[in-house]
Amino acid sequence: MSSPSPHGFPRGSDSPRRSRSFEGCFGRLFRSLPIANFRSEDLLVLGSKMVASSKPRESRIPAGYTYLGQFVGHDLTFDPASSLQRADDPEGLVDYRTPRFDLDCVYGRGPDDQPYLYERDGVRLVLGERLTKQGPTEDIPDGYDLPRSPGNDLAIIGDPRNDENVIIAQLHSVFMRFHNRIAYDLKARRQDFDRVQQLVRWHYQWVVLYDFLPRIVDSETYMDVFPHVAGKTKPKKEDQPGLVAPIVPKSDIIQDPPRLHFYRPQHEAFIPIEFSAAAYRFGHSMVRPVYNLNLRRVPLGIVGSNRNETLAGFGSFNPNWLIDWRLFYQTSDGAGPEPQRSLKIDTMLSEPLSDLPFRFLKPPLSLPQRNLIRGMQLGLPSGQAVAQVMGIRPVDDDRLCIGPKRVPLSKNKAFRQNAPLWCYILAEAQHLQDGEKLGPVGSRIVIETLVGLMMADGHSLLRQNPLWRPEVVEKGGKFGIAEFIRMATDPRAQR
């Protein structure tokens, strides 16, 4: 039996339940697979090798998609009670976020229950202090900080995690401004709030489906799940070149509906732990050690003890740090400066992530070590076991390589044919996709979870109006996060 924690036993910690009939906020995609067992010491050694101190390995993915992925994750899940000091029962975890793409991280509980998030009209969201461009060469629109409490400078928003760094904070502000832009276009009054909210959510969901996912999921898996993108019920491999996002589907989703092989909830939608504790953590490997926020070219580190030199959040930041989003996302027409690039999806994380400066955390303070320990405590299966149940030939042991020295994972016999799922997904992307996208196992878990959650939500775009398209797409253009930001920052729609 497990040793008791200071707060007693978490439900199910002594015998995590794996019932085929149980589904909660969190659950398992592969309940029948055995748990991959490891010694903590082996995982700590493995995690220490998953750090790169050399020159970053840049991918072709613009750097902003790392933070769009973080925003999506915050919108779907929030487990404030999770801890590395206990073995959690997935059925006992509580998701304080609805498992839907409903932007409750932005809207909170709505204008009736949290009126302080909204203007007096009960429609528009309250923005923070204006951030103005600095210098004559930056042809970018002004931005806004998040609204903050005068007492402690913390953000007054639906999800405080969206204030944890300067980039995610300003992206959250963009979503608030997009809502206000739709309200402006509709000349909305209080009774129109639901319509405004619906349109914002549908634009956001479109971005996830046709811009975010095709950039990170391998083309074959994407086309298999979304045959309507190619306009064919059964697309052939030769019809699946690298997808160029954002995408405009060639047929409608009614004619060619999504095909999900593994995410099939029997009752309520749930977040698979294979997704939240492994596959969706691919984004950690994409984080750059430093970013330029605008054309002033002042690089800021992702973590550090000096707030004036890092992207640290949870407080007001330098007004010179107004983001030029052209350095994070590229518009469909390719206009503007070349954006920074995310790092490759592989087994090498940026060196600053090996020693997180958050002293409220209990050891280990290395992000790769924390991810590996967390996966073990949640009882995840091995990467090879998941590949086999999907009908995918697992990557050979000698090709599953770790860290900048590309050491085979199997050098430690504990990991032979028994790779931790998160580590396997990163190594698979590194070996099969050169780190440009996820491999087949990681792609399948991520796309089936995100599309499955949207299909399970009766209020989503795919369920309420599957033939809907953004206005710019109706006019023959494309719509992705760059176009979303352009609409949001239109000065005509400011308060």
At 83-111, the pLDDT tens digits run 333 344 455 444 445 689 999 999 999 99
pTM above 0.75, yes or no: yes
Query: Residue 54's pLDDT band (boundaries 50, 70, 90)?
Result: confident
Where do the domains of the chain lie? 62-338+440-493
d(C-alpha 163, C-alpha 148), whole Å: 10
Which one is predicted more confidently, 450 or 334?
450
Which alpha helices (DSSP H) does 208-318 contain, by range? 213-216, 219-225, 273-276
Low-confidence winner among 129-143, 168-182, 272-286 (lowest mean pLDDT): 129-143
Rounded CA separation 232/230 (Å): 5
Residue with tokens 């590949």: 387
Task: Assess whether the previous peptide bond of 246 is cis (omega < 30° from 0).
Answer: yes
194: which residues sit within 8 A by CB, 6+ positions away?
none
Phi/psi for 59 (5° steps) reads: -100, -170
Whether the pLDDT of residue 254 is over 80: the answer is: yes
Please state the rounded mean pLDDT for residues 62-87: 74
* 386 touches 30 (CB < 8 A): yes
Q: Look up tokens 């003890």; give the residue.
A: 305
Instruction: Pick from 55-59, 139-143, 205-209 the range whose average pLDDT is largest.
Output: 205-209
Dihedral-angle region of residue 457 (phi above 0 means left; psi in -120 to 50 means alpha; beta otherwise): beta
* Mean pLDDT in residue range 288-309: 86
Q: And the tokens for 471?
A: 């206005």
Average model confidence (pLDDT) for the chain?
87
Residue the block writes with tokens 């032979």: 416
Taking 80 as the threshold, does the pLDDT of residue 453 lie above it? Answer: yes
Asked if pLDDT for residue 412 goes beyond 80, the answer is yes
| The one-letter amino acid at 6 | P
Distance of alpha carbon 160 from alpha carbon 167, whole angstroms: 14
CA distance 304 to 175: 27
Backbone angles phi, psi at 233, to 5 degrees: -65, -35
Alpha helices in 50-192 (DSSP H): 64-76, 104-107, 166-186
Instruction: Give the three-state DSSP class for 53.
Output: coil
Burial annotation 273-295 (CB, 10 A radius, 16+ → b, else e): bbbbbbbbbbbbbbbbbbbbbbb
Nearest Cα residue to 323 out of 101, 162, 167: 167
Give the model's pLDDT for residue 357: 74
For residue 150, cis peptide bond before it (omega within 30 degrees of 0): no
Q: Tokens for 373?
A: 């320990």
Selected residue with higher pLDDT from 95 and 208: 208
pLDDT of residue 239: 43
How far apart CA 289 and CA 282 sit, in angstroms, is 16
CA 429 – CA 424 distance, rounded (Å): 9
Lowest mean pLDDT among 33-47, 220-234, 452-466: 220-234
- Residue 213 DSSP code: H
Residue (of 38, 120, 244, 141) closest to 485 by Cα position: 141
Q: Quick: pLDDT tens for 149-164.
A: 998 999 999 999 999 9
Q: Closest Cα to residue 315, out of 165, 167, 107?
A: 165
* 83-111 core/surface letters (b: 16 or more CB in 10 A; e: else): eeebbbbbbbbebebbbbbbbbbbbbebb
